[in-house]
Structure 1
Amino acid sequence: MKRQLSLFFVSTAAAALVFAGAAPAALAHDGSHHGGESGTGLSLGLGLDLDLGLGLGQYRYSQLTGKAEVPGPGDPDGRGQASVRISRDKLCVSLTVRNIQPATAAHIHRGAKGTAGPVVVNLAAPSDGTSYSCVQVDRALTREIAHKPGQFYVNVHNAEYPAGAVRGQLQR
């Protein structure tokens, strides 16, 4: 039985490596990210959730607007997107913003839609319009963000709107 399980896991891992190698697109990275960690990542671009409930390799997304800022006001023409990759004990966040003054800070906050809440993760500010951060976090927090994304939001701040220029709730 042990040998059968061992062969199953080895063949499954080998198949995953072959599949990953045959993936049509790797995520090219030009090294222009801010903060966090450097390097090139690989993305299969399939959105598969194979983590067995552990929150591994999942993505959560957010559309950021000034209108969503609470208590407000946020930047009325400000827009942006956030993509959060959830690993066991790490979050990697890609942020893009436009139509706002240069960002001075960015965070993930705990809080439902329409409420302001505390910062739970500090991110690199997209001061030139984009940023990329990888941050070590507690496993319980990664599981919570993976399973209850609507209880968290991404917020980008700048000098003109220090309480927040754009905001968006995380979603699946």
Structure 2
Amino acid sequence: MKRLVRLLVVPTAVAVTLAGVTAPAALADDHGSHHADSSGVELGLGLDLDLGLGLGGQHRYAQLTGQAEVPGPGDPDGRGHAVVWVTSGKVCVSLTVRKIQTASAAHIHRGTAGTAGPVVVDLAAPSDGTSYSCTRVDRGLAREVARTPAQFYVNVHNAEHPAGAVRGQLHR
């Protein structure tokens, strides 16, 4: 029995330590290089969350464009990127947008590609082109976003496009 306990405790301690070290660095990276650099860590942390241990967290991503906006039209030149870090009871988002007028709001919505849905998480608007925010959420919602990211999208609004300037579906 002692051997089993040691096997469970050591990986858990390592996962918790790695989560504290890698999460801020991955969220700060707006250039997409985090996919290759941290994939091994994400797999280990994702396993902890999927097993219901409530440890670690998972990244989800979205490429934002005006063309993806529903019902549209979004900003035809607008682009952006979102990195969403989901943990048990919290969602943190790093947003970057460009080629749109000043952002006035940002959200995570429930909805599949091609559909409009309700807001589930309010985010800090990237009014100067970037923003970072963390929001406490229901554990069930956090689990849904982590496990079924394609059921959610990130949306950024501005005065010219109040229904949404850019949008992107979440993915692993």
TM range (shorter): 0.7 to 0.9
1:111 paired residue number: 111
1:88 partner amino acid: S
- Cα contact 2:27–2:93 (8 A) shared by 1: no
Paired with 1:121 and 1:14, the residues of 2 have a C-alpha distance of 30
Residue from 24, 27, 30 that aligns with 2:25: 27
- Cα contact 1:112–1:152 (8 A) shared by 2: yes
Instruction: Spell out structure 1 runs of 4+ moving beyond 3 A.
Output: 3-18, 23-26
CA 1:69–1:135 in structure 2 vs 1: closer, same or farther (change >3 Å)? same
Residues 1:84 and 2:81 aligned together: no
Residues 1:120 and 2:113 aligned together: no
Of Structure 1 and Structure 2, the greater helix share is in: 2
2:73 paired residue number: 73
Q: Could you tell me the TM-score, scaled by structure 1's length?
A: 0.80
| Structure 1 residues without counterparts, runs of 5 or longer | 31-43
1:68 match: secondary structure: coil
Q: Identity rate of aligned residues, in percent?
A: 65
- Cα contact 1:154–1:167 (8 A) shared by 2: yes
State how many pairs are aligned. 156
CA 1:71–1:11 in structure 2 vs 1: closer, same or farther (change >3 Å)? closer
Comparing 49-58 with 98-107, which one deviates more in the overlay? 49-58
1:100 paired residue number: 100
Displacement of 1:13 after TM fit? 4.6
1:134 match: secondary structure: strand
CA 1:164–1:14 in structure 2 vs 1: closer, same or farther (change >3 Å)? closer
Paired with 2:57 and 2:151, the residues of 1 have a C-alpha distance of 19
Comparing 45-54 with 99-108, which one deviates more in the overlay? 45-54
1:50 paired residue number: 47
Q: Could you tell me the TM-score, scaled by structure 2's length?
A: 0.80
| Structure 2 residues without counterparts, runs of 5 or longer | 29-36
> Which structure has the bigger radius of gyration?
1
1:92 partner amino acid: C
CA 1:139–1:102 in structure 2 vs 1: closer, same or farther (change >3 Å)? same
Q: CA RMSD in A?
A: 2.7
